Amino acid sequence: MTARPFRALQRIEIATHCVPVLEDCIAAYRDLLGFRVVDEGRISDMLSRVWDTPAMAGMRYALLQPASGAEVYLRFIETGNTSGYWPPVTQGWVATEMLATDPDALQLQLEGTAFRRIGGPADLYPGPKSARAMQMAGPAGELMYFTRILPGGSRFGLKGAKSFVDRPFIMVVGGDSMGRLTEFYGGKLNQRVIESPPFTIPQMSRVLGVDLRTTYPVSLAVIPGRSFLLELEEYPAHLQRRSRPEGQLPEGLAMVSFGSTDLELLELEFRAPPRALDGAPYNGRHVAVVEGPAGEWLELVGK
């Protein structure tokens, strides 16, 4: 019997955003979306060495958990940088998609707040069990999708929200070559990648100044367990990679952390050797960072 290939990525754990003002993000996600701060402080020298980002040491951060109690977090780091967020569109991590019970009610709740509606709420396909989503820019310009999934409404068996706004469950990455994205996520990381027919992304086309009917190649990288997905999108070749200040993480949606298989099994070029890190959310596990084909950073958290 042939052994099943291991999947490098086992679950999404953290979406990390580098933001100009930490307090603005804490207040917005805590007071408007029900998140709670579960850890805060300053980036340690050890963590900055794992990331190979010496300039990040000492920067203030906060780790936020959704009201559902799911151990999937948002991490905001105050860098003071004001660029790197959507718009404009750049290659790399583009958006964080969060579960929500009622995007329409959420739209009303967020009117006149630090969140700005980009698109929706709208059904994603015809049918009574369609997922329904809304796109918004957060207080630092971060692109957030809020999605309702009804029972039986996901072809991948994804479950719906357990709180009004729940955890990140899909991360969106965009690059200039679907072939390179597929080779990395499907080849080097051994995730199952499913091609989808090209589809329109009106909010993307609007920012790019192209016809709203423009279609984009899209694939999905499946993460085991029916709780998470990665959406891979191919963008026009002229789009630049995300800027990265010297010695820091990329700007904006900087990095996504994944619970991983044993890091020793992965034939990857890490930015620095894996190290065991204490404290939330690592709790003694080994951590290393790898850069993807669109300049996106993945923090892998193994045993």
pLDDT class for 152, splitting at 50, 70, 90?
Answer: confident
Report how far residue 161's alpha carbon sits from residue 150's, in angstroms, rounded to the nearest whole number: 9
Residue-averaged pLDDT of the chain: 94
Query: Does 1 have pLDDT greater than 50?
Result: no
C-alpha–C-alpha distance, residues 222 and 7, integer Å: 9
Mean pLDDT of 100-117: 97
Residue 11: its pLDDT value, please?
A: 98
Of 301, 261, 263, 264, the closest CA to residue 282 belongs to 301
> How far is it, in rounded angstroms, from Cα 249 to Cα 79?
9
| Exposed / middle / buried, residue 42 (Cβ in 10 Å: 0-12, 13-18, 19+) | middle
User: Is pLDDT of 155 > 90?
Assistant: no
Annotated domain spans of the chain: 9-301
Q: Pairing relation of β-strands 73-78 and 60-65?
A: antiparallel
Spatial distance between the Cα atoms of 3 and 183, rounded to a whole number of angstroms: 21
Q: 166, 70 in Cβ contact below 8 A? A: yes
> Helix (H, G, I), strand (E, B), or coil: what is residue 244?
coil
pLDDT of residue 9: 98
User: If you count them, how many residues does the chain have?
Assistant: 303
Question: Which pLDDT belongs to residue 3?
Answer: 44
Percent of the chain with pLDDT over 70: 98
Residue at token pair 């790019």 = 208
- Tell me the mean pLDDT in the region 190-194: 96
Position 202 scores a pLDDT of 81
* Across 191-213, average pLDDT: 86
The residue ranking higher by pLDDT, 271 or 125, is 271
Nearest to 97 by CA among 136, 39, 152: 136
Q: Is the pLDDT of residue 207 over 80?
A: no
Degrees, nearest 5: CA angle 12-197-98 = 30
60-65 average pLDDT score: 98
Among 37, 80, 82, which residue's Cα sits nearest to residue 62? 37
Name the strands in the sheet holding 36-42, side by side, starting at the edge strand that comes first in the sequence: 36-42, 60-65, 73-78, 9-19, 252-260, 297-301, 286-291, 275-276
The predicted structure's pLDDT at residue 5: 63
Q: How far apart are CA 218 and CA 211, in angstroms?
A: 18
Please say whether the structural domain 9-301 has been given the CATH code 3.10.180.10: yes
pLDDT above 70 (res 2): no
User: In this predicted model, which residue has the larger pLDDT, 29 or 279?
Assistant: 29
Taking residues 147-154, report their average pLDDT.
92
Q: How many CA atoms lie within 13 A of 270 on its CB side?
A: 19
Mean pLDDT, residues 191-207 taken together = 86
Mean pLDDT of 290-299: 98
As given in the structure block, the two tokens for residue 41 are 């402080």
Tell if the pTM clears 0.75, that is, is over it.
yes
Stretch 287-302: mean pLDDT, rounded? 98
